[in-house]
């Protein structure tokens, strides 16, 4: 065991700010495929995933939900249909799961931060720049695209505060060399992007602490500062091995990582900031960062805020986990973007899994049953002319597959497998077993060899398929009667490992064909229902049947009013007293029963709409001259009120008509 070759692979650690979607699932499934492939080859694999739980976004979301940040992330990480549940469902074989709120990680991050401070690579300064809250990223003015975040295109905020900085600029040359002169970052196209967009314009020092929120790892030697979430997050790859902590003892064994799989928008963090910080810490660099493409929906990125996320739970439930895993890696080249659609998913299942693989298996097993009672005879007759091509393809498959897997080209590796499956299906038609079976005495040995070759084709494919479809591949091996020795990586490189007198076991149809039209309609219906369920339960008052004549309505005098002052009315829980500029030069007082929804101070300065020609009314001993206009509805049984507010450009006294 100790002498086994080692392989350490990681996924990004996910933000538990919302439920994960199919885009997140894509990266983890790919990492799982790689980890399973390396285990199959005999490596001692460590596959790490986890969650990145600090930062302002999480703090804000928790506040919105009315719970503490820890309670909030606990729910999304550990709760039903949470992150851990999803990986279990998708049959993800991670060996370890790190949460950045774990004590051992927090303590290690404090030590790491201090070490870089002590070696002079972290220093205190003042941060003036732009911050993208959803991405938790700082940007300089020159990095913005049209004044917006270059990653997500959203608005950025001005940021100015005392902060610690990491001397990223010091490492610019070394990082550029790493990117340009080694194959640290793949695909190569991402190298140009990093060098041209980030390094050549000049790498500025990076702001690595924040004081405007508290949900983060505290800088222990300077209370009030929390460590920038990306510093906290990136070092997870080492703390999860036991770096500067006693929780694990695998750092020496597994660091440096063999590969970090990351989505393309976080390549910048992994290929520039991460190596620079490791250089500062004098730690070995990971061997590779692979930046994969995005799964798009209708050409755009999936995101909760756009409301276009695809739910992996729903797809796995309708099509099966293996079919979903297979689709993700079969359809899209890993390094490029790909467009997700239900049609593409169903089509892949029908063509590759139901038609090609599923049919080959069920036809072969049922023919062995029908012609030989389930067990092949040892006496078999080859026909070199007819067998050579298939046998050659089977014999070389492992090498061709390996070449592609080593390049993380999952789609190509599957192409190689499906070349054999297609060839085997064609081999059935060429050899017409049903014709041979008409004269078993003369053709029995030949028919037996035809069946054997089909079983061998299925075996080698099924030995190489577990990274993609772990459960179904095991079922193929069971149905074709593969012994343990002929399920190994070594045996996949050799034609003829299966016993000649193999006994097959008939089983369930692995991938039933899906009725495309019916399924698409069902999925559309589910999506419509989900959309409806996501809308707040609005209860709006019915419209009045009674009509008001036009002249009467025109007598109502609606005006823009500016709030000069606002306060609670003593002894009243409901009333707010407004002093308003109504454009006449004399202040107007209006009382309004909205204290339940608004604090007086948040309304000062606002431009509102009021009806100003109502007769005066006395409330709690004070006079009210008019009424402020609000929108009222009921949500989940609770009354909601929103004052109608106007653009501040509208002057006080402007008439509404
Ligand atoms: N927390 C950081 C990673 C820190 S790693 C030290 C983060 N988290 S994330 O939850 O926003 O994203 C995790 C991964 O999911 C990223 O690699 C991201 O690219 C990937 N994906 C999110 N949506 C995706 C698609 N639609 N398609 C493919 N991958 C996508 O970033």
Cis upstream peptide for 143 (omega within 30°): no
Answer yes or no: is the C-beta of 257 below 6 A from any ligand 1 atom: no
Residue nearest atom 16 in ligand 1 by C-alpha distance: 263
Residue nearest atom 12 in ligand 1 by C-alpha distance: 14
What percentage of the chain carries pLDDT values higher than 70?
97
pLDDT at site 374 = 98
Phi-psi region of 408 (alpha: psi -120 to 50; beta: other; left: phi over 0): left
Q: How far is the CA of 9 from the centre of ligand 1 (A)?
A: 16
At 332-390, the pLDDT tens digits run: 999 999 999 999 999 999 999 999 999 999 999 999 999 999 999 999 999 999 999 99
Q: How confident is the model at residue 152 (pLDDT cuts 50, 70, 90)?
A: confident
Contact of 210 with 253, CB cutoff 8 Å: no
At 422-480, the pLDDT tens digits run: 999 999 999 999 999 999 999 999 999 999 999 999 999 999 999 999 999 999 999 99
pLDDT at site 224 = 93
pLDDT at site 153 = 86
pLDDT at site 175 = 98
At 39-65, the pLDDT tens digits run: 999 999 999 999 999 999 999 999 999
pLDDT at site 23 = 94
Contact of 282 with 275, CB cutoff 8 Å: no
Q: How far is the CA of 641 from the centre of ligand 1 (A)?
A: 38
Answer yes or no: is the C-beta of 289 below 6 A from any ligand 1 atom: no
pLDDT at site 31 = 98
Residue nearest atom 8 in ligand 1 by C-alpha distance: 14
Q: Token digits for 444?
A: 């029995």
Q: How far is the CA of 576 from the centre of ligand 1 (A)?
A: 47
pLDDT at site 534 = 65
Q: Token digits for 27?
A: 């990266």
Q: pLDDT at residue 304 above 80? A: no
Answer yes or no: is the C-beta of 230 below 6 A from any ligand 1 atom: no
pLDDT at site 43 = 98
Q: How confident is the model at residue 82 (pLDDT cuts 50, 70, 90)?
A: very high
Answer yes or no: is the C-beta of 295 below 6 A from any ligand 1 atom: yes
pLDDT at site 212 = 82
Nearest-atom index, ligand 1, CA of 301? 26
At 266-276, the pLDDT tens digits run: 999 999 999 99
Q: pLDDT at residue 544 above 70? A: no
d(CA 152, CA 571): 49
At 250-288, the pLDDT tens digits run: 999 999 999 999 999 999 999 999 999 999 999 999 999
* Count of CB atoms situated within 10 Å of the CB of 49: 27
At 392-407, the pLDDT tens digits run: 999 999 999 999 999 9
Q: Token digits for 101?
A: 């709120």
pLDDT at site 354 = 98
Strands 607-611 and 44-51: unpaired
Determine the 3-state secondary structure of 424 from DSSP.
helix
Nearest-atom index, ligand 1, CA of 236? 6
Q: Token digits for 494?
A: 């050799």
Q: pLDDT at residue 18 above 70? A: yes
- pTM for the whole structure: 0.81
Answer yes or no: is the C-beta of 27 below 6 A from any ligand 1 atom: yes
Task: Give the N- to C-terminal CA distance of the chain in Å, as an integer.
Answer: 83
pLDDT at site 536 = 54
Residue nearest atom 5 in ligand 1 by C-alpha distance: 12
79 secondary structure, DSSP code: S
Residue 579 sits at φ, ψ, to 5 deg, of -105, 120
Q: How confident is the model at residue 150 (pLDDT cuts 50, 70, 90)?
A: confident
Q: pLDDT at residue 125 above 80? A: yes
Contact of 558 with 654, CB cutoff 8 Å: no
pLDDT at site 375 = 98
At 590-616, the pLDDT tens digits run: 999 999 899 999 999 999 999 999 999
Mean pLDDT score across all residues of the chain: 94
pLDDT at site 618 = 87
Question: Per-residue pLDDT averaged across 525-548, rounded?
Answer: 70
At 154-172, the pLDDT tens digits run: 899 888 889 999 999 999 9
Q: pLDDT at residue 537 above 60? A: no
Answer yes or no: is the C-beta of 233 below 6 A from any ligand 1 atom: yes
Question: Per-residue pLDDT averaged across 168-193, rounded?
Answer: 97
pLDDT at site 131 = 86
């Amino acid at each position: 065991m100790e002498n086994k070759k080692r392989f350490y692979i990681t996924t990004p650690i996910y933000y538990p700010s919302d439920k994960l979607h199919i885009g997140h699932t894509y990266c983890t499934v790919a990492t799982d495929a790689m980890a399973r492939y390396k285990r199959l080859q005999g490596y001692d694999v460590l596959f790490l995933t986890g969650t990145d739980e600090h930062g302002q976004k999480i703090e804000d979301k928790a506040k919105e939900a009315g719970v503490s940040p820890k309670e909030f992330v606990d729910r999304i990480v550990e709760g039903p249909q949470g992150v851990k549940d999803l990986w279990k469902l998708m049959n993800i074989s991670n060996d370890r799961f790190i949460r950045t709120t774990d004590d051992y990680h927090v303590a290690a991050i404090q030590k790491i931060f201090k070490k870089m401070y002590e070696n002079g690579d972290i220093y205190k300064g003042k941060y003036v720049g732009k911050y993208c809250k959803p991405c938790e990223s700082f940007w300089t003015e020159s990095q913005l695209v049209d004044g917006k975040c270059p990653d997500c295109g959203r608005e950025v905020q001005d940021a100015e505060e005392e902060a610690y900085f990491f001397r990223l600029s010091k490492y610019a040359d070394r990082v550029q060399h790493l990117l340009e002169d080694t194959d640290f970052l793949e695909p190569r196209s991402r190298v140009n992007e990093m060098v041209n967009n980030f390094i050549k314009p000049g790498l500025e020092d990076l702001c690595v602490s924040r004081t405007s929120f508290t949900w983060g790892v505290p800088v222990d030697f300077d209370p009030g500062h929390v460590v920038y979430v990306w510093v906290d997050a990136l070092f997870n790859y080492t703390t999860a091995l036991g770096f500067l902590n006693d929780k694990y003892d695998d750092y020496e064994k597994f660091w440096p990582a063999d590969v970090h799989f990351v989505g393309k928008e976080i390549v910048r963090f992994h290929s520039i900031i991460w190596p620079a910080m490791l250089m500062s810490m004098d730690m070995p660099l990971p061997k590779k960062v692979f930046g994969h493409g995005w799964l798009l929906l209708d050409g755009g990125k999936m995101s909760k805020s756009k409301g276009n996320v695809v739910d992996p739970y729903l797809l796995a439930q309708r099509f099966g986990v293996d079919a979903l895993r297979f689709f993700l890696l079969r359809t899209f080249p890993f390094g490029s973007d790909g467009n997700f659609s239900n049609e593409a998913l169903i089509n892949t299942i029908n063509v590759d899994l139901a038609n090609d693989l599923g049919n080959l298996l069920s036809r072969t097993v049922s023919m062995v049953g029908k012609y030989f009672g389930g067990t092949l005879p040892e006496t078999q007759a080859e026909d070199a002319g007819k067998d050579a091509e298939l046998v050659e393809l089977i014999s070389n498959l492992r090498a061709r597959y390996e070449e592609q897997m080593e390049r993380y080209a999952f789609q190509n590796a599957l192409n190689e497998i499906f070349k054999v499956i297609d060839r085997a299906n064609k081999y059935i038609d060429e050899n017409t077993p049903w014709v041979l079976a008409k004269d078993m005495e003369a053709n029995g040995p030949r028919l037996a060899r035809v069946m054997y070759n089909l079983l061998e084709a299925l075996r080698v494919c099924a030995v190489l398929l577990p990274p993609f479809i772990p459960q179904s591949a095991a079922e193929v091996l069971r149905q074709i009667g593969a012994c343990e020795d002929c399920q190994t990586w070594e045996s996949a490189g050799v034609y003829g490992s299966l016993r000649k007198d193999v006994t097959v076991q008939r089983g369930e149809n692995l991938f039933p064909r899906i009725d495309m039209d019916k399924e698409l309609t069902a999925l559309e219906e589910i999506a419509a229902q989900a959309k409806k369920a996501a809308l707040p339960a609005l209860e709006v008052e019915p419209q009045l049947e009674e009509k008001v004549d036009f002249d009467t309505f025109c007598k109502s005098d609606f005006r823009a009013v500016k709030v000069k002052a606002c306060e609670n009315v003593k002894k009243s829980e409901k009333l707010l007293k407004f002093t308003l500029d109504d454009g006449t030069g004399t202040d107007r007082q209006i009382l309004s029963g909205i204290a339940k929804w608004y604090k007086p101070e948040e309304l000062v300065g606002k431009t509102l709409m009021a009806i100003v020609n109502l007769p005066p009314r006395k409330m709690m001993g004070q006079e009210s001259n008019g009424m402020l206009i609000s929108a009222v509805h009921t949500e989940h049984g609770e009354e909601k009120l929103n004052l109608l507010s106007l653009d501040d450009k509208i002057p006080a006294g402007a008439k509404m008509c």
